[in-house]
Each structure stands twice: as C-alpha cells, then as structure tokens.
C-alpha cells in the first residue's frame, strides 16, 4: 500500500486555506521550475501531488497540456475549479494509472517525501515519462537554512511517536538522498539547485490558517487536540512576527532536475 490511504484524509481537512494561503508559499520554486523547463504549447505535463492546482494553473498559462494527480479528493475538487482546462485525478503516486511514456514532464512539489516508498514513486514517474522526458522535484533545502523547520519541529512534538527509522521532513535532503535514489532508478543528467523562498503572511491569523492546513497538523490534532496544536503553533510563529505584523519565514527549497 502506498501513501494515498493515509495522506488523502489528512490533507483534505482545510482545502481552501491550503489552496488560498499555504500552497502559494512554493511560488519561488514554481517560478524556478517554469523557467528551467521552458514549457510550450503541446508539452504534456503531469504534476504529482498537485494539491489544489496552483502550479497546474501556472503551467496551463504557458499553454502546456496539464494533468494533475493528488491523493486528496478535496484538493482535486478545488483544482478543477482553479484550472478547468486541465485533467485531474485522485490517485496513488506509487501506482500511476497512466500508460508508459505519456508525459514530457513530470513534477512533484513537496510530494515525493510523502510516498510510502520514494523509490517506487520515482520508478513510476520515470515509467510515464517519454524517452527524453524531464523530471522536476522540489523538497526542503538544508534544515539549518529553513526557518520553517521550527514550525515543523513544533508540529512534530504533538504527533504520536514515529516507528523506528521513520523518515523526517528533511530525509530526502540530507546526504543528497533524493539524488541518490534518482540515480539508482536510472535517471540521468541530475542537477540540484537551492532556491531562496520567503514565506510572508500579512498577519498572524492568516499565518495560522495557512500553517494549520497541512496534513501533519491534522494528524497532530487527532493526537493532541485542536487547542493544544493551535497554542503550540501560535507560540512557534511568535519569533517570526515582524514590526508591521507580518509573519515571515526565510527558507530554501531544493529543486532537483533530472532527465530520463
């Protein structure tokens, strides 16, 4: 079993907050990938873990033929509204329903780390790529360069104890693990780029809505209760409140590009 059964229900609790607030925090990474790929009319693109379709809309605006896949039904409903021209499906990233060599580009923005087995997900991504197809994956940058790591740590403190050896949010970043897995499954011409990403919320209320819309927070609420989670995240964001009331996290995302 892959990640869909677990992740689908967790990420669907606050789809509008995710779609209108938190999904946009990946803008720097989305822009970098769009520049690197030079999408054009006729480019067939699959976005794995497409969320509510924010990147799909950007790619569709470049006239790419866009398909989005996500484990969360509520996200897919929002994505269909955001990008009516695209095709969307609920599915499992480790068992893609698409034929071999269907897509010119496969993207995954902060999605592959949620696979039950990242290697299986990347094997599937490679399978559906054309022979000269390209993959773009975005994950966290180095932990010490991501102020949002403090928020992740706060949420992690409210989760049930993980099983021995369970990967954390930075697992694919540490020791170049994602690049190693890509090499192992046969991708070539792998390139890595660290992209500065500033998360800026206009006030604490919006920051809390965005930060609390993530799947791990839903699990934390199940384990520790809403009040405890709300209080903990409120305290965690306090050091990042600016004099003008904005909440700002300076982070880095890692973009890994590869060719089949």
Burial 108-135 (b: 16+ CB within 10 A, else e): bbbbbbbbbebebbbbbbbbbbeeebbb
Find tokens 């706060």 and name the residue.
Answer: 154
Neighbours of 229 (CB within 10 A): 21
DSSP state of 241: B
What distance in Å separates the CA atoms of residue 152 and residue 132, rounded to the nearest whole number? 37
What distance in Å separates the CA atoms of residue 49 and residue 115, rounded to the nearest whole number? 10
Provide the CA 210 distance to its chain's centre, in angstroms. Answer: 14
The DSSP-derived string for 18-44 is: IIIIIGGGGHHHHHHHHHHHT--TT-E
DSSP state of 167: -
pLDDT at 162: 74
Answer yes or no: are the C-beta atoms of 78 and 53 closer than 8 Å.
Answer: yes
Residues 6+ apart with CB under 8 A from 61: none
- Give me the residues of the chain with pLDDT under 70, please: 1-6, 8-9, 163-166
The model's pLDDT over 128-178, given as tens digits with 9 standing for 90+, comes to 999 999 999 999 999 999 999 999 999 999 998 876 666 788 999 999 999
pLDDT at 6: 63
pLDDT at 7: 75
Instruction: Give the rounded percent of residues in the chain with a pLDDT score beyond 70.
Output: 95
Q: H or E segment at 134?
A: strand 129-140
What distance in Å separates the CA atoms of residue 242 and residue 234, rounded to the nearest whole number? 14
What distance in Å separates the CA atoms of residue 136 and residue 190, rounded to the nearest whole number? 10
Domains and CATH numbers, the chain: 4-146+164-200+250-259 (3.40.50.150)
Answer yes or no: are the C-beta atoms of 209 and 20 closer than 8 Å.
Answer: no
Q: H or E segment at 105?
A: strand 103-109
């Amino acid at each position: 079993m892959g990640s869909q059964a677990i992740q689908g229900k967790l990420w669907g609790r606050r789809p509008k907050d995710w779609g209108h607030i938190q999904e946009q925090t990946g803008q720097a990474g989305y822009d970098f990938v769009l520049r690197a790929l030079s999408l054009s009319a006729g480019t067939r693109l699959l976005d794995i873990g497409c969320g509510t379709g924010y990147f799909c809309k950007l790619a569709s605006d470049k006239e790419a033929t866009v398909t989005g896949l996500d484990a969360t039904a509520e996200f897919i409903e929002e994505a269909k509204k955001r990008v009516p021209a695209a095709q969307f499906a609920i599915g499992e990233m480790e068992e893609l329903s698409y034929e071999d060599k269907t897509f010119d580009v496969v993207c995954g923005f902060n999605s592959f780390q949620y696979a039950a087995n990242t290697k299986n997900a990347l094997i599937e991504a490679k399978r559906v790529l054309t022979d000269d197809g390209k993959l773009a994956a975005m994950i966290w940058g180095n932990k010490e360069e991501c102020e949002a790591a403090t928020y992740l740590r706060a949420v992690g403190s409210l989760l049930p104890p993980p099983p021995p050896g369970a990967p954390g949010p930075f697992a694919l970043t540490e020791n170049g693990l994602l690049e190693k897995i890509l090499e192992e499954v046969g991708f070539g011409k792998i390139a890595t780029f660290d992209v500065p990403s500033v998360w800026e919320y206009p006030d604490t209320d919006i920051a809390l809505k965005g930060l609390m819309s993530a799947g791990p927070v839903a699990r934390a609420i199940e384990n520790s209760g809403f009040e405890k989670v709300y209080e903990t995240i409120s305290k965690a964001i306090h050091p990042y409140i600016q004099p003008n009331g904005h909440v700002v996290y300076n982070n880095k995302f890692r973009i890994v590009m590869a060719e089949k």
